[in-house]
Amino acid sequence: MLFNSAIFILLLVLTFIVYYIPFLKKLQVQILILSSLIFYAYSQPSLLLLLIVSALINIAVSYLIVNGNPKMRRFYATTGVIINLAVLVFFKYSPLFAKTFLNTDAGFGQFLLMLPLPIGISFYTFEGLSLLIDVYSNKHKDILTIEKSLSKHFYKTLFFISFFPHLIAGPILKAYEFYPQIGEKKFKNINWSYVFEKLVQGYFLKMVIADNLTNFTFWMEYPYFKTIASFDLILIVFGYSIQIFSDFAGYSLIALGIAKLFGYDLIDNFNFPYISSSFSEFWRRWHISLSTFLKEYLYIPLGGNRRGRVRTYTNLIITMGLGGLWHGAAWSYAIWGLYHGLALAIERFFLNNFKLPQKNTFTKILMGIVVFLVVTISWVFFKLPVENVIEYFKSIYANQHLAHNGTLIVFILLYSTPVVIYHFLYLANQNPMIANITQKYKFIAYGCMLFMIAVNSGPSGSFIYFQF
């Protein structure tokens, strides 16, 4: 069910009305659980059972860690983590295993290749893992409490995992951030300004920018790119960089706005990533919920930067490689992650071994351009299979004689411009005088975005991150 579909708007409105009926206020969590299950089942009804089973496993294990035999805590936590990872690996990576090592024309290889990929499985599995690890570690025991009542714990945890704004493509929630928020919500406390701004920005980025750019970035796929001029191929990669930001940041903003309608705060998943002047800064601004998850639950347990420089570089590369593979069951995603891990390791090497000049405006701009170019090149690995990546770069070299596609160039630049302005205004707003002016006249920008959503939305399509 897409956020920009009529059926979703209907579900949202009905849920909102029922949720704030005074005599049903004690059932608010149950109402959101029901709507969330309907939301998920609409696209893949047969796989709703997997979501419920995953939630039940995490409900039972987290309850046992706290309320079961204290001597068995480690066993419960380890078993729960293994089951979560096994389910994720089986449904998400079995086809990759089959294509790499087995005959997929018949037998077991064909069976593995035919397995469905449940929408959002990477997201709700990571959330289940965060619950088990947080409960076992007791790091957040002051704010993350597991109810003695199994029924109350059941509803809280099922709600945490299934809450529909974040269910399909995040942000990835951490249990200790979400559980303390669960409680009765009041209509009068809705922050309508926040909701309006997040929804308008989100729908504009998705429907006007990302969906329209899809009409032009599809030329990036094989075999279409073989007929495109070299400069146009380079520009298409730039367009895809803008598209994937707009698509995913758009989804995240919509999720934040919808969650706030029901009184819940989700983590900001994007913080103007394309103004980053270092690779570490980029990953503090891009898909923040994933990067913080990987840091907290993988990089630090591996040793982080506490075991020497070589181990630090290795941990960075391992973490980002696994983070890349989390995105999809293809080796190109692993390469994309390793590419970013290598960039982070090289950056850390230079910071550790060379005295770099102090950053000023010029060096920040220069480094920002370098980081953007390196990140943008990496999206080719994200978009295409490995064998097609090589062909794509060959075509950039070989197609210099082909004529340019003026329409493609104009429209990619046209639809990319608002995202460039979006980032530029963020930088400009660091100046208090400019910030006061933009704050005073921001209603004009929101009026323009609403108008463009109404008259210039692109063809409706799934969010890119739905496949993860």
**Rounded-to-integer distance, Cα 371 and Cα 365, Å:** 10
Give the pLDDT score at 465.
Answer: 60
Torsional sign, CA 57, 62, 63, 67: positive
Give the pLDDT score at 468.
Answer: 56
What is the residue type of 222? Answer: Y
Give the pLDDT score at 381.
Answer: 94
Residue ranges covered by each domain of the chain:
6-186, 192-277+359-467
Give the pLDDT score at 106.
Answer: 79
Contacts (Cβ under 8 Å, ≥6 apart) of 14? none
pLDDT tops 70 at residue 378: yes
> Is the pTM above the cut of 0.85?
yes
Q: Which residues have a catalytic role annotated?
A: 327
Give the pLDDT score at 383.
Answer: 92
Instruction: Encode pLDDT of 225-245 as tens digits.
Output: 999 999 999 999 999 999 999
**Rounded-to-integer distance, Cα 285 and Cα 430, Å:** 17
| pLDDT: which is higher, 95 or 159 | 159
The vertex-14 CA angle with 9 and 19, nearest 5°, equals 125
Instruction: Encode pLDDT of 293-311 as tens digits.
Output: 999 999 999 998 888 889 9
Q: In the predicted model, what is the mean pLDDT of residues 99-113? A: 84
Give the pLDDT score at 439.
Answer: 87
Give the pLDDT score at 96.
Answer: 87
**Rounded-to-integer distance, Cα 446 and Cα 250, Å:** 15
Torsional sign, CA 95, 98, 104, 108: negative
CA-wise closest residue to 224 among 392, 387, 394: 392
Q: In the predicted model, what is the mean pLDDT of residues 364-385? A: 94
**Rounded-to-integer distance, Cα 356 and Cα 125, Å:** 41
Please give the share of the chain, as a percent, with pLDDT higher than 90. Answer: 75
CA-wise closest residue to 65 among 52, 51, 80, 83: 80
**How many angstroms separate the Cα of 132 from the Cα of each of 129, 172, 304, 319, 400?**
5, 15, 21, 20, 55
pLDDT tops 70 at residue 463: no
Q: In the predicted model, what is the mean pLDDT of residues 194-205? A: 96
Instruction: Encode pLDDT of 7-25 as tens digits.
Output: 999 999 999 999 999 999 9
Q: In the predicted model, what is the mean pLDDT of residues 50-77? A: 94
Q: What is the mean pLDDT of the chain?
A: 92
